[in-house]
Amino acid sequence: MQKRLVLASRSPRRQELLNQVGISFSVRKANIDESEITAHHPIEKVKQLAVLKGKSVPFKHNEVILSADTVVAHKQKIFEKPINKVDAYQMISQLSGDVHDVFTGVMIRSVNDEIVFAERTKVEFWPLSVKEIEKYAATNEPYDKAGAYGIQSLGAIFVKRIIGDYYNVVGLPISRVVKELRKFGVDLQW
């Protein structure tokens, strides 16, 4: 029997990725207090956030919960969503001309089982001018994205190369997620 998937996130990017591969789902927003997270290492932090989100959402016997969280880390410093233009400018300036990591923690759970994992993708930015960074920080784009950029939109012009899963940088390592969801009785709608 096919299980019903519940996405514990209102992230439009995660929803787009699930729609892109033909997985039916409903959305239930996770209500969490992120201050409960004590981890400082990016991998542990995203895994703890995914678990916190996934366990905050109630579900029924025939449902599977999918939760995720993504952070950008540069030299072991975590870059979450910028709070203002200055914060966005500083983040992009630090990423300019250098390599950083994008980590997404994922939790999939059902009544009988759960799995938690994290994916890592390395991203290298071109060297950017002050003017480029200022213009970008003046747009609305940086403010709902970890690390102040979206690889799937205007931030794509900064990316010199990636090593790893592109979709992980977007916010959900969709290939691995689909493989894991199949183990929980959730599959594509062919």
Angle, helices 130-137/85-95, rounded to nearest 10 degrees: 140
DSSP state of 175: H
In tens digits, the chain (190 residues) has pLDDT values of 678 999 998 889 999 999 999 999 999 988 887 777 888 899 999 999 999 999 999 888 899 999 999 999 999 899 989 999 999 999 999 999 999 999 999 999 999 999 999 999 999 999 999 999 999 999 999 998 989 999 999 999 999 999 999 999 999 999 999 999 999 999 887 6
| Architecture in CATH for domain 4-183 | Alpha-Beta Complex (3.90)
d(CA 125, CA 12): 24
Structure tokens of 154?
């205007």
Cα torsion for 144, 68, 77, 79, to the nearest 10°? 0
Beta bridge partners of 78: 73
Domain locations along the chain: 4-183
Angle, helices 12-20/174-183, rounded to nearest 10 degrees: 70
Whole-angstrom CA distances from 30 to 9, 10, 18, 57 are 6, 8, 18, 6
Structure tokens of 52?
């916190």
User: What pLDDT digit, counting tens, does each position of 136-160 carry?
Assistant: 999 999 998 989 999 999 999 999 9
The active-site residue out of 69, 101, 165, 187 is 69
User: What pLDDT digit, counting tens, does each position of 152-182 carry?
Assistant: 999 999 999 999 999 999 999 999 999 999 9
Q: Any catalytic annotation for residue 69?
A: yes
